[in-house]
């Protein structure tokens, strides 16, 4: 079936990025498989993370179907777009239907995008991961694709006004090698290994990031352990 909405939305997003004069440093896209199902797993630091994580699949000519909270699908603007792009609504109180929907998509060869922290990390560090992504990959017999984003929080994140001025913001993205999801391994252990791998990727993205805060008032987007003023990370 032809994709009538997703490609134009990607085109509109790329135009917006040019208007904002964003600078991209994306590495590891060769790890995105050109065919077959996979669970793309990303950290979550800003409202537009699904856009930036989805960009990693463009060189492989793939589209990522993201799992997102149901309220996004009820919005009068984002709802029709999300449904047309075949993203998957998640009712956090009853997630079984979304899980089954994702499994069906994975088995049919789709890439499903998941934020295992379930919500934006206001400390900009990795929160505790839920095991759903690992369980999905194990049941569908597909690999996990770890992705780390950095810099997206400066555009629009929880507790801060969105900043869509022409700011020359760098956006750094790192894609790791696919991780096999052995069904004989416990989902908790696999999730722990996934989180460790994503921590390595996140630290690599932070080291590569070319910008520093311009002063104390601009240090909000940097984690406390890196000298910024973001809230301290909760214990995991």
**Residue recorded with tokens 């992504």:** 133
Q: What is the rounded CA–CA span in Å between residue 47 and residue 92?
A: 18
Region at 36 (left for phi over 0; alpha for psi -120 to 50; beta for the rest): left
pLDDT tens, residue order, the chain (236 aa):
578 899 999 999 999 899 999 999 999 999 999 999 999 999 999 999 999 999 999 999 999 999 998 988 988 888 999 999 999 999 877 779 999 999 999 999 999 999 999 999 999 999 999 999 999 999 999 999 999 999 999 999 999 999 988 777 899 999 999 999 999 999 999 999 999 999 999 999 999 999 999 999 999 999 999 999 999 988 77
pTM: 0.95
Is residue 90 classed as helix, strand or coil in its secondary structure?
strand
So where are the chain's domains? 6-226
Q: What is the rounded CA–CA span in Å between residue 2 and residue 224?
A: 46
Cβ within 8 Å of residue 167, ≥6 positions away: 20, 21, 154
Q: What is the rounded CA–CA span in Å between residue 2 and residue 23?
A: 31
Q: Let me know: does 153 contact 48? Beta carbons within 8 Å.
A: no
Give the pair of three-digit tokens for residue 159. Answer: 């507790």
> Concatenated DSSP letters for 101-157?
HHHHHHHTT-EEEE-TT-S--TTSS--PPPSHHHHHHHHHT--EEEEEEESGGGTS-
Q: Quick one: fold of 6-226?
A: Glycerol-3-phosphate (1)-acyltransferase (3.40.1130)
């Amino acid at each position: 079936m032809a994709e009538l909405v997703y490609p134009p939305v990607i085109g509109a997003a790329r135009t917006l990025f040019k208007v904002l004069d964003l600078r991209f440093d994306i590495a590891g896209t060769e790890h995105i498989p050109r065919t077959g199902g996979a669970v793309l797993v990303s950290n979550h630091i800003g409202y537009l993370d699904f856009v930036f994580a989805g960009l990693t699949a463009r060189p492989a000519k793939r589209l990522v179907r993201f799992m997102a909270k149901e309220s996004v699908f009820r919005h009068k603007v984002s709802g029709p777009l999300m449904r047309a792009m075949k993203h998957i609504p998640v009712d956090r109180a009853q997630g079984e239907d979304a899980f089954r929907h994702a499994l069906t998509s994975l088995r049919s060869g789709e890439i499903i995008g998941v934020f295992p922290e379930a919500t934006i990390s206001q400390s900009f560090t990795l929160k505790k991961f839920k095991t759903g992504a690992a369980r999905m990959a194990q049941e569908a017999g597909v690999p996990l694709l770890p992705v780390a984003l950095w810099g997206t929080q400066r555009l629009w994140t929880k507790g801060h006004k969105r900043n869509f001025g022409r700011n020359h913001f760098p956006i750094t993205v790192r894609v790791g090698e696919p991780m096999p999801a052995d069904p004989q391994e416990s989902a908790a252990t696999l999730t722990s290994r996934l989180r460790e791998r994503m921590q390595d990727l996140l630290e690599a993205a932070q080291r590569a990031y070319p910008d520093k805060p311009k002063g104390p008032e601009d240090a909000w987007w940097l984690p406390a352990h890196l000298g910024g003023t973001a809230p301290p990370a909760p214990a995991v």
